[in-house]
Structure 1
Amino acid sequence: MIKKLDEIVEKVKSISSMKLAVAAAQDKEVLQAIFDAKKKGIIDPILIGDVEKITEIAKILEEDIDNIKLIQGDDLKDCAQKAVKLVSSGEADFLMKGLLDTSILLKEVLNKEYGLRTDSLLSHVMVYEVLSYHKLLLLTDGGMNIAPDVNQKVKIINNAVKVAKSLDIKEVKVACIAAKEKVSEKMIATVDAKELSENNYGENVIVEGPLAFDLAVSKEAAKIKKFESRVSGDVDIILVPTIEVGNGIGKSLTYMANAKSAGIIMGAKAPVVLVSRADTHESKLYSIALGALIASSKK
């Protein structure tokens, strides 16, 4: 089992470099992470965008791009379209967002003609390394789906389980969190969590809910409350009921607990690396490495 984000980087170094298509790559912070990942042998990038600007940024960063494939993108939509087509045709293994709106890129990802659409649902999975927790903690979905219904939550869990399995987690433990562990018709999150816990997600996947957050991450809390659980204190995946809950927990881990993190969009035929300008260079690198690991597991 991979327990540290640096272990993801080390593992993908031992795998043949995954080809990464970057849409609108003319962004200094994104290019810094890409060049770093290339030097570590994680990826073989294909940069789509304003070639003149990409070349200028590379000179500023003192990076050699002679052995990197560059493709001119006429506008942001064209950049997204060309990047997605590279992945759908098999010329690239996964996708990354550069200097363009997420909506532009995902519209092309979901294009019925040439996109990466599947029968699943696009969802965001964050992977956190928290000093106070004994292994990596996955959180979903605090980035895409606002208030998913129970059927959408099934797909969100399945997407996160794929990430967990790429991290060599043999028995995946999922906690569907709510404000309390008792089911109440007045709290839809508890009703959904109970139903989700009764579904089948394949071999070696345990889903429990509803659980309050403390019961999910603390064996001591479960002991004090006399709550019997197979996942308490050892959970791999936290499923949140709404985007606000996921966003709040995630940012609390980052800014209050100094957690390291990586993020990925799942549910398409290939993983999509979507980083924020506020993300650290380290987080961008970890996200690229995570995407490469998941992409390699699909081969």
Structure 2
Amino acid sequence: MSADATQTQSPSKYDRLITAARAVPLAPTIVVHPCDETSLRGAVESAQAGIIRPILVGPDTKIRDTASRHSLDIGAFEIVDTRHSDESATRGVELIHAGRGELLMKGSLHTDELMRAVTAKAGGLRTERRISHVFVMDVPAYAETIFVTDAAINIFPDLDAKRDIIQNAIDLYVQAGFGKSPRVAILSAVETVTSKIPSTIEAAALCKMADRGQITGGVLDGPLAFDNAIDQEAARIKGIKSEVAGRAQILVVPDLESGNMLAKNLAYFAKADGAGIVLGARVPVILTSRADSPRARMASCAVAALYANARRQHAPTIAA
């Protein structure tokens, strides 16, 4: 499944991803408040595809009514009854603490509601790592599976937050089986360092942090403008010579606004699918949108399941 082996794009990137996820053990997944067709269907179809084993957390009556209206078979799934979406989020996090699930999946509640429970100082799922979001994008015109980060969680990340954002993305890329030593482009408006554009200074600092071992597992370059990051001819014309320029696999954006616009431009202009996953918490969090295609929803589950499997294999063994 290495991105390096992917040829000029066919619509098979996500298909290979889903196939790989079927080959690992089912990931027990806490699905929080799946009370509409889109979210419940995503959980059901991902289970039918052999990727996750859902535990549905939400108002029992609403979930069963939704399943009945849309002919979705949830007979094999456990339902944990709650009164409303806020309680669903809290209960879902509690089930993770209780060891019932390896993944957390967003249902029909607002992202803010779920993430409040995830990031709560008391009883949440925080770790020492900054929580961040990655879009795993299948862009038809690009030979690589491309990561865009962070386009959903951190609005104006500082240098320390960006260090964690990059490390989260590298860890996902490697551990989920996309390949080794991903090429990381730190984006700005230009490819030269200038005090007039602070993101260029941060890009240079992040590259030096990688040189000093503060970011590991990937090859970084920046600042790079978007064209220099993904197009080899554009990089050649500008005289940029690096392992990353023109062949980036992870795109690190300056802030949430630019990342969100980039991801949506790829989705609507380039007809890309985007699988969404939140990293840096105790378990991967699957974030999907109502606008996601069924294949993108299943790919989000597949990425998270592959990552969970890698984490499971590297978990420390406790002696009896």
The whole-number CA distance in structure 2 between the counterparts of 1:138 and 1:167 is 13
Deviations 1:28-69 (A, max 9, x none): 101111111111111110001111111112122323322110
Contact 1:86 1:92 in 2 (8 A): yes
Counterpart residue number, 1:70: 79
Contact 1:260 1:283 in 2 (8 A): yes
Partner of 1:125: 134
- TM-superposed CA distance for 1:204, in Å, is 4.0
Aligned length: 299
User: Are the counterparts in 1 of residues 34 and 57 from structure 2 also a CA contact under 8 Å?
Assistant: yes
Structure 1 position 202, deviation (Å): 5.3
Tell me if 1:176 matches 2:186: yes
Instruction: Kindly indicate whether residue 85 of structure 2 is the aligned counterpart of residue 38 of structure 1.
Output: no
Match of 2:232 in 1: 219
Distance in 2, matches of 1:288 and 1:196, equals 30
Please, which of 258, 261, 270 is the counterpart of residue 248 of structure 1?
261
The one-letter code matched in structure 1 to 2:73 is: D
Write the distance in 1 (CA, Å) between the matches of 2:147 and 2:274: 10
Moved more, 113-122 or 175-184: 113-122
Q: TM-score, normalised by structure 1?
A: 0.96
Q: Distance in 1 between matches of 2:261 and 2:108?
A: 25
Following superposition, the deviation at residue 201 of structure 1 comes to 5.0
Q: 1:97 aligns with which of 103, 106, 109?
A: 106
Runs of at least 5 residues in structure 1 that lack an aligned partner in the other structure:
none
Is 1:187 matched with 2:200?
Answer: no
Candidates 139, 152, 173, aligned match of 2:148: 139
Two-structure CA RMSD over aligned residues (Å): 1.4
Q: Which residue of 1 aligns with 2:245?
A: 232
Q: Distance in 2 between matches of 1:103 and 1:213?
A: 29
Question: Alpha-carbon deviation of 1:12?
Answer: 1.0
Q: CA deviation at 1:113?
A: 3.5
Which amino acid is 1:17 matched to?
L
TM-score, structure 2 normalization: 0.90
CA contact under 8 A between 1:109 and 1:116: conserved in structure 2? yes
Q: Indicate conservation of the 8 Å contact 1:116/1:268, yes or no.
A: yes
Amino acid at match of 1:159: N
Q: Which amino acid aligns with 2:178?
A: D
Establish whether residue 273 from structure 1 lines up as the match of residue 289 from structure 2.
no
**Residues in 1 aligned to 2:25 and 2:15: alpha-carbon distance in whole angstroms:** 18
1:20 aligned residue: 29
| Partner SS for 2:136 | strand
